[in-house]
């Protein structure tokens, strides 16, 4: 599985952090946005099911000012 933290830009979604999970485990996505302004963010997840079919999911978006 792969998870990403993304920020919306004029040209599309910019990946700020990503983490891959294989098996059991935990982790966190993070980004230091100090002084960058106000942007819209979302998370993205991708994995392949047991028969190789790719599945993608996006979170709802949130807007933050740094």
**DSSP assigned state of 62:** E
Q: Tell me the per-residue pLDDT of 20-57, one tens digit each, with 9 for 90 and over.
A: 877 676 778 888 887 778 999 999 999 887 787 888 99
Predicted confidence at residue 1, as pLDDT, reads: 82
Token pair, residue 57, equals 């999911």
Q: Is the pTM of this model over 0.85?
A: no
For residues 33 and 30, give the distance between their C-alpha atoms in angstroms, rounded to a whole number.
Answer: 9
């Amino acid at each position: 599985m792969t998870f990403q933290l993304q920020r919306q830009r004029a040209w599309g979604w910019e990946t700020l952090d990503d983490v891959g999970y294989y098996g059991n485990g935990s982790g966190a996505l993070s980004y230091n946005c100090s002084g960058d302004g106000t942007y819209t963010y979302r998370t993205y997840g991708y994995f392949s099911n047991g028969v190789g079919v790719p599945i993608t999911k996006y979170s709802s978006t949130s807007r933050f000012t740094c």
